[in-house]
Amino acid sequence: MRVAHYLNQFFGGVGAEEHAGKGLEIHQSAVGPGRLLEQLLGGEARVVLTFVCGDNFAVEHQDELTAAVLEKLSSHSVDLFVAGPCFDAGRYGMAAGALCHAVQAKFNIPAIAAMSEENPGGDLYRDALYIIDSGTSTAKMRDVLSKMAKLTQKLIANEPIGSPAEEGYLRRGWLRDQLVEKTAATRLVDMLMAKMTGAPFESEMPATAFAPVPMPAAINDISKAKVMLITDGGLVPRGNPDRIEGTAATRWGSYSIAGRDDLRAEDYEVSHGGYDTRFVQEDPDRLVPLDALREMEKNGVIGKLADEFISTCGRSNPLSNTRRLGREMAEKIKQDGVDAVILTST
């Protein structure tokens, strides 16, 4: 079995944070944790390529790094791509996830990473990949690598993969049929009783956890600020030029309101399958309050209203998708020099 392995500058032996800007290095053999991985995979497994890249470089030049790794792999046939373990190193986790995702899609070989549940790379790629939960302690290196090796062997042999708890990977959000002894009602009451008595129990519907969002600083003087309107209520120009889906939207659009004091019903429609959209169709200012905010711009209450508003549809959408939409919007907001956003949500 021929294996390719991705490491950051630290685990790749280049150095600590001061080397985070270092570009991609390629070795023709196992490096650092790759040697142990080779042993744990056993048999004929050989790490034939090790990619080492600085964390800052990897995140700042993600497309370039991905292209370079894919190109190298296309001339070296490998059976498996492994990234990390990354533990709680965020930039490392993001790069590992992106590379595994790209390799898996392009070459259709198993790609596996390991990182902690809180690692932003875990959030982003757990739907798409098997990511072993590494926890945050690098002292668990051997244990994590051995879980990676075990799961990998199953993937390569096409054996059935157990549950996240059995195999140690981050939940991928999949539902799988399973035969059980007790009906749902009995299981529910059992869980409730366990909860009441403080006994341990495992929920069948774990709630999604949201990491706290740091509160951005207040605007000092709104009369000098540039304000943008955003909505997830699906308001789009008539004809829906960006074809924003009315459920599980994969796209967003930005639409000019330059020189307009009011949104007219005849210019817009609503792409959203989750609420009764008639009232907004009648008067789009009921969702995107342009008329009121334009007045405030004219009266000097705010410095400037952005020339475009952003819109998407926030309905039944996987988090991996909505997070991407949010990041893309944030980039535009920064580019446009916007100081504050009013998001209207249905």
Partner 1 sequence: MQITSALPIAKMVGSNRVVLGTGIVHVTGDAKLAPADEKELRRKLVQQALDALQSDKRQ
Interacting residues toward partner 1 by CB under 8 A: 210-213, 215-220, 222, 225, 227, 233, 275-280, 282-283, 285-289, 291-293, 295-296, 301-302, 340-346
Within 84-225, strands assigned E span 111-115, 130-133
User: Which of 249, 293 has the CB closer to partner 1?
Assistant: 293
User: Which of 4, 287 has the CB closer to partner 1?
Assistant: 287
- What is the closest distance, in whole angstroms, from the C-beta atom of residue 336 to partner 1 in the complex? 17
- What is the closest distance, in whole angstroms, from the C-beta atom of residue 330 to partner 1 in the complex? 15
Closest CA to 234 of 286, 310, 311: 311
Packed helices 90-107 and 62-74: angle between N→C axes, nearest 10 degrees = 40
Closest CA to 26 of 57, 63, 65, 61: 65
Q: How many whole angstroms separate alpha carbon 197 and alpha carbon 81?
A: 46
59: number of Cβ within 10 Å = 17
Exposed/middle/buried for residue 120 (C-beta within 10 Å: 0-12, 13-18, 19+): middle
Angle at 101 between CA 5 and CA 149, to 5 degrees: 45
User: Which of 22, 315 has the CB closer to partner 1?
Assistant: 315
Q: Which residues contact 8 (CB under 8 A, 6 or more apart)?
A: 52, 53, 54, 55, 58, 86, 89, 91, 92, 95
User: Which of 114, 228 has the CB closer to partner 1?
Assistant: 228
- What is the closest distance, in whole angstroms, from the C-beta atom of residue 31 to partner 1 in the complex? 39
- What is the closest distance, in whole angstroms, from the C-beta atom of residue 289 to partner 1 in the complex? 4
Instruction: Give the CA-trace dihedral at 249, 250, 256, 260, to 10 degrees.
Output: 10
- What is the closest distance, in whole angstroms, from the C-beta atom of residue 115 to partner 1 in the complex? 22
Tokens representing 198 are 């403080």
User: Which of 80, 227 has the CB closer to partner 1?
Assistant: 227
- What is the closest distance, in whole angstroms, from the C-beta atom of residue 234 to partner 1 in the complex? 12
Q: How many whole angstroms separate alpha carbon 252 and alpha carbon 338?
A: 18
User: Which of 224, 238 has the CB closer to partner 1?
Assistant: 224
User: Which of 200, 216 has the CB closer to partner 1?
Assistant: 216
- What is the closest distance, in whole angstroms, from the C-beta atom of residue 344 to partner 1 in the complex? 5
User: Which of 134, 277 has the CB closer to partner 1?
Assistant: 277
User: Which of 295, 331 has the CB closer to partner 1?
Assistant: 295
- What is the closest distance, in whole angstroms, from the C-beta atom of residue 339 to partner 1 in the complex? 9
308-to-2, 227, 266, 285, 305 alpha-carbon distances in Å: 51, 10, 18, 14, 8
- What is the closest distance, in whole angstroms, from the C-beta atom of residue 84 to partner 1 in the complex? 28
Closest CA to 3 of 36, 47, 37, 41: 47
